[in-house]
Amino acid sequence: MAASLQLRGAASGLWYWSHRPRWVAASLAAVCSRSMASKTPVGFIGLGNMGNPMAKNLMKHGYPLVIYDVFPDACKEFQEAGEQVVSSPADVAEKADRIITMLPTSINTVEVYSGANGILKKVKKGSLLIDSSTIDPAVSKELSKEVEKMGAVFMDAPVSGGVGAARSGNLTFMVGGVEDEFAAAQELLGCMGANVVYCGAVGTGQAAKICNNMLLAISMIGTAEAMNLGIRLGLDPKLLAKILNMSSGRCWSSDTYNPVPGVMDGVPSANNYEGGFGATLMAKDLGLAQDSATSTKSPVLLGSLAHQIYRMMCAKGYSKKDFSAVFQFLREEETF
């Protein structure tokens, strides 16, 4: 998806040039040689579209898994591959002291940790619990407190990058939690992603993802509005894109993921807006940004409106399309 494409391009250069003490990035090689030593079992909860390929990458790197999913079928192929399947998050916590969770919503995540048969029921002292779900940072902080009470460690590590990046191990992890534990998290996350970024205290991983995606939504809609207006004013789309990209209007949505069909190749707008980052997922992330803005009293005027626009767009038949289809959604406008 969006971010990962970009990251493959930008990583190398930007990345190391900008190396700083509290900032850590891990090359796949480095991480995995470093971890060859001890391969104790790793727990994995949530084996959906994203979790499945992520767990497989851990297997590839030689980690035995202890897995659980609310849908038994999701565990089948892992069982056949000889991995250990158990019947509750609590059982995972009993058998593994490093657990990764990848779940769709805040509610599912709270259930998996604090529920009747949740991880916290049997978690071992000193365990490392990494949640890669994208949820409200406030919930991550709450969970972290409960985990600490049990003498374990919690980190939030949401991903940037879609199913494709998950398969190819090119995800970016934005990690929040105690810095001393970052190296330990990195050992596992480095097997599933090309970039592992330390963001600060618990919740800042979620915060970083939310802020990036809110700005992404705003600049994508802005690009769609500007391109559409320019076209109606008589400009050639390719020429306009070129002018924007050499000027101050330049943004990732205009120069790397242009939403106007015919301007770029290899992007969803060149493929009827198939693939990419779904409008529904963008609407969900904008909802989280809204919640965070409301609870921190941060003014996000364009962010609020972007949220509403993506919600309307999903309702008008674009829910399965890439989020850049907002250009199509706006262009439909008839003259009257």
Ranges within 114-153 binding its own copies (CB under 8 A): 137
Cβ at position 242, least distance to its own copies in Å: 6
Exactly one of 76, 209, 242, 321 is catalytic; name it: 209
**Contacts with its own copies in 222-241 (CB under 8 A)?**
222-223, 225-230, 232-236, 239-240
Task: Look at the block and give the residue holding tokens 């391969």.
Answer: 39
With contacts defined by CB under 8 A, name the span among 54-62, 145-153, 182-190, 301-309 that binds its own copies: 301-309
Residue type (1 letter), 248: S
When binding is defined by CB under 8 A, the residue of 118, 203, 259, 261 that contacts its own copies is 203
Q: Is the CA virtual torsion 80, 84, 86, 90 positive or negative?
A: negative
- Residues facing residue 85 across a β-bridge: 67
Choosing from 10, 81, 262, 271, the residue that interacts with its own copies (CB under 8 A) is 10
Query: Is residue 124 flagged as an active site residue?
Result: no
Nearer to its own copies, 59 or 226 (CB): 226
Looking up tokens 């190396």 gives 19
Among the residue ranges 69-77, 122-130, 181-189, 198-206, the one whose residues contact its own copies (CB under 8 A):
198-206
Structure tokens at 41: 């079992």
Query: What span, in angstroms and rounded, lies between the C-alpha atoms of 173 and 171?
Result: 6
Residue 218 tokens read as 């705003």
User: Site size for its own copies, by CB under 8 A?
Assistant: 99
**Residue 50 in contact with its own copies, rule: CB under 8 A:** no
DSSP 8-state assignment for residue 9 = H
Q: How far is the CB of 70 from its own copies (least distance, A)?
A: 20
CA 229 to chain centroid, in Å, comes to 32
Q: Rounded to whole angstroms, how far apart are CA atoms 321 and 317?
A: 8
Q: Is 38 in the site for its own copies (CB under 8 A)?
A: no
Nearest distance, CB of residue 285 and its own copies, angstroms:
12
Write the binding mask 176 to 195 for its own copies: x where contact by CB under 8 A, - elsewhere. -------------------x
Q: Classify each residue of 206-244 as buried b or exposed e, where b means 16 or more C-beta atoms within 10 Å of its C-beta.
A: bbbbbbbbbbbbbbbbbbbeebbebeeeeeebeebbeeb
Q: Which two tokens stand for residue 42?
A: 């790793």
Closest CA to 201 of 159, 153, 151, 146: 153
Is residue 49 involved in binding its own copies (CB under 8 A)? no
49 is in an annotated binding site: yes
CB of residue 111 to its own copies, shortest distance in Å:
14
User: Could you tell me which residues are annotated as the binding site?
Assistant: 40-68, 103-104, 108, 134, 284
Active site residues: 209
